[in-house]
Structure 1
């Protein structure tokens, strides 16, 4: 039973005040007696506090001799103690408490447990032994405490490492976004200041427009051949069109083979080309296209206004600085989750890089796949991949018994003639 000291104090004060008030003489007015207050200490009578005192502990209560045998557990040593002349001493609280505590140890009611309890009690009454026992207890628990400390330390270090990793990733992402914003602002400042127009993303005017149409038909292939090559790209853009409603822009759309494939697949698409004859071919086929410089056209589009952007055999026609600005504008106008695809001749094929590339006099220089992939990643695109495509005619492959020599030569001379650099906007 717990004693509520505040309640007890309040009861005592109330009883003292009541008895003091009863001893004051009755007066007509409310003033105090002239002789002063009656000595309340002398008038104090003991108050019955029995209701406030706790019950005595059970282990110190008197135990009837006939109950000791029933309360103590069974055991050879305990059964021996229950016999005369020891039985009459078992009812003493201290002895009964010692026997009870000893029976609760592992092994139960045994002489060894009783001797251990007695020796432990005696040892704790000797100051030097008590300190030694406490120190041994601390040493016994030390491995477990060290293990717990090690676990907590490892958990703390792990949480700290995760926090550092998240902060590092956050800072890198933020730095990338800031760099992208800086490039966009620089491009906007260049447009506002009337920077000179970039070179066209399609063939320059060194070759007449109508002549270039004939050139494409003669060297690149017929419309059906080009459609067969480009059809492999449709699944990528169908996935994008299923998520977004914005159109796909084709830079240097040429005769419109790719635009026509997109239209037949139900994908909204527009094209731009600097060659009026090429654009007229698209318009005659019922496609949406316009005459203009590819970079200037991109600079006039709002942010995140395209689901995707393609440029088939365009980037080899422009200088490097224009290509970088073209990629920057593509990063700005393609919405997050959108896709960009740049296809160009593959200089890893030695015949393409040394000869076929220069068949088109409007080509500037071959672009290695690693360079284009680097530019896309450096300018903010993610999951960049290089897809090599369009190998040479198998009839041209070298034949021989030495595969260790023939296969590398076939790969270098007749391997993929084009490659596509594909990136995704984050």
Structure 2
């Protein structure tokens, strides 16, 4: 799917008895620290997490991993993969289900309902959730915002005025990484704020042809808003690390970025405090709500009983309450198990927890299209590319909205 810099962690053929290999993302220092919590916990049970390929190894395709799985049928391996890509890997036989583990350990009672539903596919539990990221959040340098005399509120007009005032000072108003995912994070945030969760899901999740026809004017309004933002955005090279974005905000080179809550892991790693050095705020618009990405680990297929037992240990370690607290404190994600106390650590955690609670209660919570939670892989790739092309060219809002709707309608014929 979308290109990520990941490390393939597989047991060497000479293998050590008490090892488990992992295919996992490796973006930043804060996430590496989060992984170390799980690694240490596994080591307490004499199970060693093994890293094999270089950090800059591209994420292998499902077919490539399937080949590795078939060549090493007794290998115990986990993969950090989520959303529709996860479902595709399961359908290809690369991933095996964890239903027995989930039932034995009462995951249904432990996990919030919407999270539990997201790890189900074809009647089976196909992954263990590790953390939840809210993706429609603005992160900003507090001092720069305060100096404008304006606030980060829900008014679109106020937001544009805020950006103009920042630009007058010579500071970059918005900094973003130049890739398809981050452009789509912005698009989907504005779309949810424009139409609300029901219309968002009908189009971006269900690909309902009637809903797609009805939402085209909203697509155009969103592209018009994106057009208004373009002059305020500084685009960093595609391979830029999230850490660089954080440093641009912290140093005052730029005022605002739109990122998922993973960026808070970097603020925490630097020892910064919410509402003292940085702000967090919902993207402005008439509808409030939450867009989420669910981090999950899946068990790669094996018929070896000993390997399956190691995978079960790994899965249960992920859901351990203490591990949930520590891992997600460092990664910036929200714990998937209740009552960890993580929301009390800082004011952005508390605000995000309130947003999540309210959105869940009012059903204003949707999956992130940018992060692969909604659309089948082939359709999702094309949708992201259409949005990215608009953000990097002079394409018109009306033409792009029409093109997007038509391609998504065609995609709906492929899956419905």
Structure 2-normalised TM-score?
0.20
Q: Which has the higher strand share?
A: 2
Q: Considering Cα pairs closer than 8 Å and 6+ residues apart, tell me whether 1 or 2 has the greater RCO.
A: 2
Task: Choose 1 or 2 for highest CA Rg.
Answer: 1
Structure 1-normalised TM-score?
0.19
